Amino acid sequence: MIRMAPLGAIPALLRELGVAPEPLLRAHGIDDLEAFKDPEATMPFAMAGRLLKTCAERTLCPYFGLLVGQWADTGALGSVGLLLRNAPDVITALNELVVNLDLHDRGATCFLEISGNDAILGYEVYVHGVAGIDQVSDCAMAVGWNIMRTLCGPAWLPSEVRLRHDHPLEIEPYRRFFNAPLKFNAEHSSLVFPASWLAQPTQLADPNLRQDFLSRIQDMRTYADQSFREQAYKMLVMLLGQQRCTREQLAEQFAMHSRTLTRRLKDAGTSFRELHGEACHEMARQLLRDTRRNLPSIAELLGYSDETAFNRAFSKWEGMSPAKWRKQTQT
């Protein structure tokens, strides 16, 4: 999922470029244009990619995503954006963006790296097979540029902008907006800038407002983490039944990188190993109690290397072998 607010310029841009927005948006499941103004409204990440791709094709504007992103800044990120705006310095703000982006965008991850004298703020989509991924990345880079200007002021400029897609036929819109050297076919879309900016105090930060938004983000995180633990557990049970239950496969179901999954589970007070064990335990009990599967078959279904490994794990859970537990439950 992704919040719709950063895409709020789409209706106006469509009109400006000669395309009626209502029919196009309805075709993508958006019946109410006011949804773009609702800070809580969301859409599937893949839908956002398809929408931007269609807009680019219908308007004959290959840099449509870039135009959309130019109109969004920290305000489009809701409480997360307001938290960034009121951070004491730039590095605190960007670290909070990295940690909390999943509250806004569940289809991609943001990263901050230091390489020598350079800081690199990047954006990477992890949803497989997303149409319009280049439009999404262009939009994200424009939003990132605006966020940096909000935090640092008008003196900030990147030393290089890296974009993951091919060199466009029309490069001038990119030069005009980013006002920096451009590199295409990059591994990740990112903004490169002097690392000295990270120590700069943010513009117009209010410590009192920051405490309010910290509390709000914590409430959002607590709710999200509690819900996420339950969702992850249910998804693990389903994946176990399909015999494809790795950390990476679970992360793919939530359209996130495995590192993001690990952090989300940690925030929820658990881990992949712990949840995987709970899911195996519950499914083992169910299979032993409700089916006639033999022990080697159950061991294979749950992903154990052999029956001995399954017996050892089950004995830790129940204090007895699976054969003995099955016999007791059936008497």
- Predicted pLDDT at 176: 97
> What one-character DSSP code corresponds to residue 138?
H
Q: Which residues of 170-190 are buried (b: 16+ CB within 10 A; e: fewer)?
A: eeebbeebbebebeeebeebb
Tokens linked to 207: 């410590």
Quote the CA–CA distance of 157 and 178 in Å, as a whole number: 8
- Predicted pLDDT at 208: 81
| Cβ(6)–Cβ(69) below 8 Å | yes
Flag residues of the chain having pLDDT under 70. 39, 106, 127-128, 221-226, 255, 331
- Predicted pLDDT at 127: 66
Q: Coil, strand or helix: which one is 142?
A: helix
Per residue in 2-28, pLDDT (tens digit) is 888 889 999 999 999 999 999 999 998
| Cβ(124)–Cβ(165) below 8 Å | no
Q: What's the CATH class of domain 208-329?
A: mainly alpha
- Predicted pLDDT at 222: 67
pTM: 0.69
Kindly list the domain boundaries of the chain, sorted by start residue: 62-205, 208-329
Q: Coil, strand or helix: which one is 15?
A: helix
Per residue in 21-70, pLDDT (tens digit) is 999 999 988 888 888 887 678 888 888 999 999 999 999 999 999 999 99
